[in-house]
């Protein structure tokens, strides 16, 4: 089985804990890497790009409202970068606004998920998200 990991950009410690717990409780042992703001997303990926042996994340779970550089800025930068534009980006935000969703898709988001409001819903969301993005055929660049 191909080794892969998921990069999660989330500034809220409680949300990071809940996401880790949801992956664990679903029985998934994927490597989750957490960063806390948009600057760290870009720095992390640039570090990987410098080492040709380092795999890129299978997908990025990206919060929109983060400090230093918000998710919209990160999304735009990722989709314009030759080494990162092929990585699927899933927006994971509390913002449930059709105009915001449309804007994210226009910037290149592969999916947009509104954060669930219960842990049971989060468990189901994580299971569906992981299933889709870890089994999806390669996305064309």
75 in a structural domain: yes
What domain count does the chain have? 1
Nearest Cα neighbor of 74 from 83, 62, 82 is 62
> Domain limits at 110?
5-135
d(CA 110, CA 101): 11
Give dist(CA 114, CA 99) in Å, integer: 13
pLDDT value of position 5: 86
In a domain, 140, yes or no: no
DSSP-derived secondary structure letter, 109? -
How many residues does this entry show for the chain? 141
CATH code at 63?
A: 3.40.50.2300
DSSP 70: -
Least reliable range by pLDDT among 13-27, 80-94, 123-137: 123-137
- Return the minimum-mean-pLDDT range out of 66-75, 102-111, 125-134: 125-134
Residue 141 has pLDDT above 80, yes or no: no
* Mean pLDDT score, 103-109: 93
User: For residue 95, which of 71, 76, 73, 118 has the smallest C-alpha distance?
Assistant: 71
Q: Is residue 32 part of a domain?
A: yes
pLDDT for 30: 79
User: In this prediction, what percent of the chain has a pLDDT beyond 90?
Assistant: 52
The reported pTM is 0.87
């Amino acid at each position: 089985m191909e080794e892969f990991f998921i990069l999660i950009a989330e500034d809220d410690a409680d949300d990071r804990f809940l996401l880790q717990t949801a992956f664990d409780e679903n029985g998934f042992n994927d490597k989750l890497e957490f960063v806390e703001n948009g600057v760290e997303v870009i720095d992390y990926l640039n570090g990987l790009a410098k080492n040709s042996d380092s795999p890129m994340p299978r997908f990025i779970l990206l919060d929109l409202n983060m400090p230093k550089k918000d998710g919209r800025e990160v999304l735009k930068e990722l989709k314009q970068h030759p080494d990162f534009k092929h990585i699927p980006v899933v927006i994971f935000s509390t913002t449930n606004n059709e105009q915001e969703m449309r804007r994210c898709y226009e910037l290149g988001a592969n999916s947009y998920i509104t954060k669930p409001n219960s842990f049971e819903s989060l468990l189901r969301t994580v299971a569906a998200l992981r299933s889709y993005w870890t089994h999806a055929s390669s996305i064309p660049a």
